[in-house]
Amino acid sequence: MKKVFKITGYALLTLVSLAVIYLLAAFILSRISVEKEPVTAEDVFIYLLANGVHTDLVLPVKDPQIDWSEQIRFEHTVGRDSLARYVGFGWGDKGFFLETPTWADLKFSTAFKAAFGLSPSVVHTAFYNNMSEGGDCRKIPMSREQYARLVQYVRGSFRADSSGNIIPIATTAHYGSNDAFYEAIGRCNLFNNCNTWANNGLKACGQKAGLWTPFHTGIFYHYKDK
């Protein structure tokens, strides 16, 4: 019996130690800044939007470079509001997005699969009529060349069919009347989650970001003075 308690104790100590190391690494690495490229022009404005857990990249619905509504269709949402001016993108674990509307609905199996990359991923999109800067929303200007890189990054997260069209997910798991889900590429895990995806998107288009962060606070730390 003593041996069992000893093994259990070592196991718990190992788990606690790993959790502390993970949280410490997240804090330190998220504070190391990846500096933005010089802004040569303020041609396009995007937004960072947090909901207290994860971060979305919010882009104009229509721009000379791309009309997102050609594939992120208004009719894929419940509201079908074709007047929306912005569309938000978030990438993450399919189980979390579709099966966990609130933390009270979180199952151990869902969390375990998400932590270790055992389930597919999705892109969650949401349309907005207006964006307003605040504690959980930051406006970012960039050049057209930088925006083109961001568009390429976001488009590269969608899974496409043989014709090159992104694949909508038929579900009733909506967070409102303006959102929809699409099949995505990649697997979510402890080191590559929704906030890591948004942070990497900022890096891809030459904006301020943390070296690595699994938390939205690690992204917004670099925009706290706006």
Task: State the pLDDT at residue 40.
Answer: 78
Using CA atoms, how far apart are residues 219 and 224, in angstroms rounded to an integer?
Answer: 9
Give me the residue spans of the domains in the chain.
Answer: 41-223
Distances in Å between the Cα of 101 and the Cα atoms of 105, 106, 129, 175 are 7, 8, 23, 7
Q: What is the pTM of this model?
A: 0.92
Mean pLDDT value across the chain:
91
pLDDT digits (tens, 9 = 90+) for 96-119: 888 876 666 767 777 778 777 878
Task: State the pLDDT at residue 3.
Answer: 64
Torsion sign (Cα): 191, 193, 195, 201? positive
Using CA atoms, how far apart are residues 11 and 209, in angstroms rounded to an integer?
Answer: 35
pLDDT band of 159, cuts 50, 70, 90: very high
The pLDDT of residue 1 is above 70: no
Query: Bigger pLDDT: 11 or 96?
Result: 96
Where are the strands (E) in 100-173, listed by range? 121-128, 137-142
| b/e burial code for range 62-88 (CB count within 10 A of at least 16 → b) | eeeebebbebbebebbeeeeeebebbb
pLDDT digits (tens, 9 = 90+) for 167-222: 999 998 888 899 999 999 999 999 999 999 999 999 999 999 999 999 999 999 99
Inter-residue contact 61 to 154 (CB < 8 Å):
no
